[in-house]
Structure 1
């Protein structure tokens, strides 16, 4: 065994993450029945987490596993908003200094919520600046620990805790999990937690870097002039080796959804499930409604976030 090899996430780690979340009293998010095309499937409402997104899971599991010396040095994270809030929430609870590198054009609701949780915000220009370079400078300057949004083994395990929770609520292993996907942290975690479930990754059109990487067998980066997307939470330039390694041979072919399909999913969730979903949090539902993924009575659709501002959500609801 190579002692210098990077730590890899495990199924046991996802189980331990769930136990840790249960110990601090984080309630399970609802598993709601949803009928699509005459099939009753299930929707996992992670948009109802205390921070409005599943990211609280991975952030907590990463920070609670820091050593006392690492906690004293603090953490740095990079996020357009949901991971930012997850890290800020966990850091406040554990009394750990946290700095979050966020784009200036992130939704105001996410910037304000992150700041309200007590984290320091370091802004960068998107496009124009490399967020990873900005984060690396902050890590070096502070001597802090980087908490990556999707390529950290503990973060992946924490996200996977949702799979065990869904299976317990369903009373059986899901046949498939349809997953909103940015860098692949949630998809990787769910694939570990539910090894017998098919994993369908859903990304915005033109930003389907995980799907393209799975098809190519190697990391594919977004092009020089990627299309605009309303899914601000699903815009990493590329996935990372750890995510590709976990998902390779496990995930189904990737699926891409359009902005119009995402908006339709937001309206559907509001009308049928009485839920507010941000665009990125509605991507998996969009794929299901558009007939781009198979459905059966044991399918679980991940509704991953609800952090959208009132004005843009109202515009979406008003569209026909």
Structure 2
């Protein structure tokens, strides 16, 4: 990996979390759609397709985990994560929990029943991409240390995920950590694969997606079809499978050779869980690789503080401020 300065680390950290938020906002309207449906509605998505682009639970949970990590650092424990879920989400009297995925809802139901980790993660969607969507902050914090990023995100994920759900988060965290250290696209992929079992569904999907992304293709849509076909299980109704979403995200990143705009738009136009681990994680990987300047200004300027549409307790935080906390290792506000 190339040598990096403190300023490099700060700029890459800002790129990673801003990239996540941009990918989330760009992909949100296309979530759960097939490529054919995307084409019918918008042609090929090349930018924001709504007048008021905004992030979803993906960005808000990344802020939540980023603040928790900034507060506790490498000493983060499962008990601290569990306490944070209670304090900031489960025990708050703020009306119905809004806009989260199945894994978050299942986790909250278990926590509210008095269950503790790892039993709190024993629900029907422990394999979802809900951990992968909030994994980028761990790679930012552990810049250049993929194994440490994977260790920390598994601590966080033990409250809400199990098995492939944990592996998906570890692959993302490790990939972002490698990119933060200046690794090449090939080395970023290798770092992600190094922290998950090689015979896991996550590893197989990631390898297939990257191989498909590297094959010669006449145009972007053809490459997207190849990546999508290598990973997606046809006819399966759930789009938040961690192995699928993580594979698509790394496939988009590899197809783009790390270029931010190409990576995010590749992910968005493949559909499925187009905001979460596809566009948001592809954006985090490419943002960490290229730094904050790699994010097109017209997209970056549309990202403001999170609205709290999913997590009211996160309202008002900006991903850039969280990135700065993680790269300077200052303590997060309480």
Higher relative contact order (CA 8 A, sep 6+): 2
Please, what TM-score do these two structures have when normalized by structure 2?
A: 0.28
TM-score by length of 1: 0.29
